[in-house]
Chains A and B, each alone.
Chain A
Amino acid sequence: EVQLVESGGGLIQPGGSLRLSCAASGLTVSSNYMTWVRQAPGKGLEWVSVLYSGGNTYYVGSVKGRFTISRDNSKNTLYLQMNNLRPEDTAFYYCARDGYFGSGSALDYWGQGTLVTVSS
């Protein structure tokens, strides 16, 4: 059974930093296309970043230069380092696996999400 468990969210002041973790079981992070998706309270889904199995990374424009996606193969864990946080980064952050990349892309496994609140 595949499980993705996020952690690391919390209340942080504007300009601060947080690192989110997504611990995976039942799949190998390094062999998959892994994404972060966020959802501001009461709003829609917004893709944040992807880490391809080959190591390439991509980001939505609003977080480029501030967020970094990475993985630790030994821990089978995906990370999202978030720096210079802004109030508009307040959201639930989900990690998800793209199970169909190469033939469409679709996120078939999702974590439960972790809430990041950026406020003074």
Chain B
Amino acid sequence: SYELTQPPSVSVSPGQTASITCSGDKLGYKYACWYQQKPRQSPVLVIYQDNKRPSGIPERFSGSNSGNTATLTISGTQAMDEADYYCQAWDSNTYVFGTGTKVTVL
């Protein structure tokens, strides 16, 4: 079965850039998306089709996908961005989630 791997944690200072990677075999040939989940809340889609932002998602969230790695970048990170982030791709009629990354804003 297809697997997506993320680093367990990323730390970033306020105003700096956070990058979260998502690795999977030939992931660049698929579309990747990203979700943000804050404690006791449902996930929120922040990036779809590798690099598109849904309405209402701040411009500081961006994405890329190439080779075996998709990346979510948060520019000018704010305290409110502290959350868990999950990548996701579709493969053979299954929705595959990444292992999740906890972003801490120090």
**Dominant SS at the B interface?**
strand
- Given contacts A106-B48, A108-B54, whether A47 and B94 have CB atoms under 8 Å apart is yes
Q: Does B49 lie within 8 Å of A104, measured CB to CB?
A: yes
Interface size on A, residues (CB 8 A): 27
Chain B, interface residues (CB within 8 Å), range: 20 to 34
User: When each residue 51-90 of chain B gets 1 if its CB lies under 8 Å from chain A and 0 otherwise, what string results?
Assistant: 0001000000000000000000000000000001010111
**Residues of the B chain whose Cβ atoms lie less than 8 Å from the Cβ of A96:** 43
Q: Does B86 lie within 8 Å of A45, measured CB to CB?
A: yes
Give the complex CA separation of A107 and B54 in angstroms.
11
CB-contacts of A64-105 with B (<8 A): 94, 96, 98-101, 103-105
Query: Which of A60, A99, A103, A111 interacts with B42 by CB under 8 Å?
Result: A111
Query: Which positions in A face B, CB cutoff 8 Å?
Result: 35, 37, 44-47, 50, 56, 58, 60-61, 94, 96, 98-101, 103-108, 110-113
